């Protein structure tokens, strides 16, 4: 058995709900537990923290936190937990909340000295305030700073954006992305929002009714047809790319990835920076030759890897392999048959647009 | 301004109520915490038991305590075996009886305050590395502080105001068990209305100030009183 990684097996019965999961998650990067409400994602997180006791086992990098004979109580686990509702202590100032965590930190080496954490989350101006005087977004920033101040080995986040409105979410996501780039510790992130998952996750666990439907690297898992067909119009893939050149005249940037390149909107990129592209299946179409006259600027050579049913009898989902990446294409069965192609054939994928999500 | 007898009774009452309040806060805290957090089935029965003094006539409590603490009662036998003599008609006996009588008035506000603390705060503290005792001291106690103030004030005021239990257990011994309420009763029996007026007026003023304080601390919890 490998020493590195997170191994879990949880079994729990509540009235009307059974959780039965067996998971291996890499002990690095952000893993999203994704699924509709009632799928058991928050319960898994609570079991990992020891806040809820399921039968089974939980191992973190070779340390047993739970098995048939052991159960480490939450305060002895080297974790931090960010709740949906920030759960800041109302009788303490922001600074006192941070100090409460820092005094009880779980590793003596301080990867997160308080001043660095405060600066990272931009909460310098809030330190003297009581939680009741903070906005929702500010509360969650303080809650995340507090969770980092305990210097955990594993960070658990339970829909930290759920309590925020759309505008606050937009304002808040950059902070999480900055964390994603800064943190060395693994993060397990519960969410039911495809946008958040696409922006933040490296690894995804899809949950349904207390069971694991799929678990794997984000781009590979999202391109699986059996899962994507459930997402209807929202079926998409994520591609990690690098900005290679800029065309300032047209405000465009060229993003290169394993298997091709495409032009995207220039969001004041610097050449060489890493970006995440989200390509919706409905924005991809297929042709047999690179069409020079089309208004669609991005045409990429691809291989048809799999064809599956879409969310409607008229619709097919096609999985395309592009270098080490995948694309999904959503089209009508009629169009597909007119092309006369099948699995294994080379085609050209035309991409109408790609969203830049990082 | 007071006669010596009145002053003695007032000081004795204050001493009794202070000691009883301090002991009650200590005793009530674990009971209230347990009642607020337990899912045990016996909870309702314990709650009913704690609340009994609210509905029982004080003379009933006084009677049972008198029998239990008397020379033939189980408590009396124990205290005699320990060389402490018997408790009725002593100040200690009065303290014990008052604790029983005022218990619900202290337990209930503290229990309510504990129940109002969101489980989230305690769970958050646990994930931040706080042990159960640490969580209790740093999160639960400070957040329940208004409940402790209410409980303390109610316990003190209720002990000052008791009469039936005192008469049954304490009798009427100057400087030992003769508290203000008993003193007033004596004056009326002896037709010394002037003295009764004076002490009664003091009690009225005391009660008003106490309730005023209570409502100032706890504007939203008036129904407790």
The domain ranges of chain B are 12-179
* Distance in Å, alpha carbon of B157 to nearest chain A alpha carbon: 28
Q: Which of A271, A97, A82 is nearest to A179 (CA)?
A: A82
CATH of domain B12-179: 1.10.3720.10
Query: Residue written as tokens 């929702």?
Result: A136
The domain limits of chain A are 6-230, 233-356
Tens digit of each residue's pLDDT (9 = 90 or more) over B109-135: 999 999 999 999 999 999 999 999 999
Cβ distance of A74 and B126 shorter than 8 Å: yes
- Kindly state whether B44 is in contact with chain A, defined as any CB-CB distance less than 8 angstroms: no
DSSP run (H or E) holding B37: helix B4-37
Residues of B in contact with A75 (CB under 8 A): 125-132, 134-135
- Kindly state whether B126 is in contact with chain A, defined as any CB-CB distance less than 8 angstroms: yes
Phi and psi torsions of B75, nearest 5°: -65, -40
Q: Which of A77, A57, A79 is nearest to A69 (CA)?
A: A57
Closest CB to B124: pick one of A76, A77, A83: A83
Q: A328 and A319 in contact (C-beta within 8 Å)?
A: yes
Nearest chain B alpha carbon to A79:
B127
The residues pairing with A21 across neighbouring beta strands, listed in sequence order, are A10
Q: A158 and A178 in contact (C-beta within 8 Å)?
A: no
The complex's ipTM works out to 0.81
Ranges of chain B whose pLDDT falls below 50:
222-225
Q: Given this model, what pLDDT does residue A1 score?
A: 47
CA angle A169, A173, A175 (to 5 degrees): 125
* Distance in Å, alpha carbon of B130 to nearest chain A alpha carbon: 6
Residue B58 DSSP SS3: helix
Q: Given this model, what pLDDT does residue B223 score?
A: 46
Nearest chain B alpha carbon to A102:
B128
The bridge status of strand A187-191 relative to strand A30-34 is parallel
Among the four given CATH numbers 1.20.120.10, 3.40.50.620, 2.40.50.100, 3.40.50.300, the one describing domain A233-356: 2.40.50.100
Phi and psi torsions of A57, nearest 5°: -145, 160
CA angle B52, B55, B56 (to 5 degrees): 75
CATH topology of domain A6-230: Rossmann fold (3.40.50)
In sign, the C-alpha dihedral spanning A197, A198, A199, A204 is: positive
Q: How far is CA B157 from CA A21, B98, B150, B170, B210, in A?
A: 57, 11, 11, 18, 7
The set of residues, in sequence order, having a beta carbon less than 8 Å from that of B211 and lying 6+ positions away, is B157, B225
Cβ distance of A80 and B131 shorter than 8 Å: no
Residue A280 DSSP SS3: strand
- Kindly state whether B131 is in contact with chain A, defined as any CB-CB distance less than 8 angstroms: yes
In sign, the C-alpha dihedral spanning A48, A53, A54, A60 is: positive
Residues of B in contact with A81 (CB under 8 A): 123-124, 127
- Kindly state whether B142 is in contact with chain A, defined as any CB-CB distance less than 8 angstroms: yes
What distance in Å separates the CA atoms of residue A28 and residue A191, rounded to the nearest whole number?
18
Q: Given this model, what pLDDT does residue B3 score?
A: 80
Q: Which of A36, A32, A129, A123 is nearest to A89 (CA)?
A: A129
Query: Residue written as tokens 């314990």?
Result: B46
Residue A192 DSSP SS3: coil
Cβ distance of A150 and B121 shorter than 8 Å: no
What distance in Å separates the CA atoms of residue A4 and residue A159, rounded to the nearest whole number?
26
Q: Which of A345, A338, A358 is nearest to A319 (CA)?
A: A345
CA angle A249, A351, A345 (to 5 degrees): 140
Nearest chain B alpha carbon to A148:
B128
* Burial of residue B147 (number of CB atoms within 10 Å: 0-12, 13-18, 19+): buried
Tens digit of pLDDT at every position of chain A (358 positions): 456 899 999 999 988 899 999 999 999 889 999 988 888 999 999 999 999 999 999 999 999 999 999 999 999 999 999 998 889 999 999 999 999 999 999 887 767 788 888 988 889 999 999 999 998 889 998 999 999 999 999 999 999 888 777 777 777 777 777 777 777 889 999 988 877 887 888 899 999 889 998 898 887 887 776 776 666 667 888 888 999 999 888 888 999 999 888 888 888 888 888 888 888 888 898 988 887 677 777 889 999 999 988 878 898 889 999 998 999 999 999 999 998 888 999 999 999 877 777 5
Q: Which of A250, A223, A252, A231 is nearest to A329 (CA)?
A: A223
Q: Which of A237, A280, A238, A273 is nearest to A253 (CA)?
A: A273
Closest CB to B129: pick one of A75, A90, A91: A75
What distance in Å separates the CA atoms of residue A229 and residue A190, rounded to the nearest whole number?
22
What distance in Å separates the CA atoms of residue A122 and residue B16, rounded to the nearest whole number?
55
What distance in Å separates the CA atoms of residue B121 and residue B116, rounded to the nearest whole number?
11
């Amino acid at each position: 058995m490998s020493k590195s990684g997170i191994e879990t097996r949880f079994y729990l019965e509540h009235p009307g709900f059974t959780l039965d999961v067996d998971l291996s998650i890499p002990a690095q990067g952000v893993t999203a537990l994704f699924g509709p409400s009632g799928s058991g994602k928050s319960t898994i997180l609570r079991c990992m923290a020891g806040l809820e006791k399921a039968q089974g086992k939980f191992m973190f990098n070779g340390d047993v936190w739970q098995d048939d004979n052991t159960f480490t109580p939450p305060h002895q686990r080297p974790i931090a937990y960010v709740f949906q509702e920030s759960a800041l202590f109302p009788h303490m100032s922001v600074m006192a909340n941070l100090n409460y965590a820092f005094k009880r930190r779980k590793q003596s080496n301080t990867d997160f000295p308080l001043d660095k954490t405060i600066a990272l989350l931009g909460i310098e101006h809030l330190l003297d305030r009581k939680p009741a005087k903070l906005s929702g977004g500010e509360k969650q920033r303080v809650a995340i700073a507090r969770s980092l101040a305990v210097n955990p080995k594993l960070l658990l986040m339970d829909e930290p954006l759920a309590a925020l409105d759309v505008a606050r979410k937009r304002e808040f996501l950059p902070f999480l992305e900055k964390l994603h780039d800064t943190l060395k510790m693994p993060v397990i992130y519960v969410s039911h929002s495809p946008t958040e998952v696409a922006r933040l996750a490296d690894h995804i666990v899809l949950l349904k009714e207390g069971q694991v439907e799929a678990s794997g690297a984000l781009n590979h898992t999202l391109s699986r047809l059996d899962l994507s067909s459930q997402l209807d119009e929202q079926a998409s893939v994520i591609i990690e790319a690098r900005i290679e050149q800029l065309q300032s005249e047209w405000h465009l940037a060229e993003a290169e990835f394993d298997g091709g390149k495409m032009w995207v909107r220039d969001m004041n990129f610097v050449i060489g920076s890493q970006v995440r592209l989200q390509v919706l299946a409905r924005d991809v179409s297929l042709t047999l030759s690179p069409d020079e006259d089309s208004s669609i600027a991005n045409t990429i050579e691809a291989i048809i890897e799999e064809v599956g049913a879409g969310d409607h009898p008229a619709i097919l989902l096609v999985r395309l392999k592009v270098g080490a990446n995948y694309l999904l294409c959503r089209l009508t069965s009629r169009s597909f048959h007119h092309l006369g192609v099948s699995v294994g054939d080379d085609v050209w994928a035309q991409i109408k647009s790609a969203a830049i999500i990082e | 301004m007071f006669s010596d007898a009145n002053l003695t009774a007032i000081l004795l009452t204050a001493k009794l109520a202070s000691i009883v309040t301090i002991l009650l806060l200590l005793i009530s805290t674990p009971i209230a915490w347990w009642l607020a957090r337990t899912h045990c089935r016996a909870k309702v029965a314990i709650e009913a038991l704690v609340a009994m003094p609210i509905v029982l006539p004080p003379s009933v409590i006084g009677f049972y305590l008198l029998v239990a603490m008397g020379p033939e009662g189980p408590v009396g036998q124990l205290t005699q075996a320990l060389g402490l003599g018997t408790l009725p008609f002593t100040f200690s006996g009065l303290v014990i009886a008052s604790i029983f009588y005022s218990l619900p008035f202290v337990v209930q506000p503290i229990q309510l305050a504990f129940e109002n603390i969101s489980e989230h705060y305690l769970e958050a503290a646990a994930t931040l590395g706080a042990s159960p005792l640490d969580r209790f001291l740093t999160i639960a106690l400070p957040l329940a502080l208004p409940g402790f103030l209410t409980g303390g004030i109610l316990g003190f005021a209720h002990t000052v105001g008791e009469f039936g239990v005192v008469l049954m257990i304490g009798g009427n011994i100057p400087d030992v068990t003769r508290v203000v309420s008993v003193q007033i009763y004596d004056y009326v029996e002896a037709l010394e209305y002037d003295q009764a007026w004076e002490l009664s007026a003091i009690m009225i003023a005391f009660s008003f100030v106490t309730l005023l304080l209570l409502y100032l601390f706890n504007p939203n919890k008036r129904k407790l009183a």
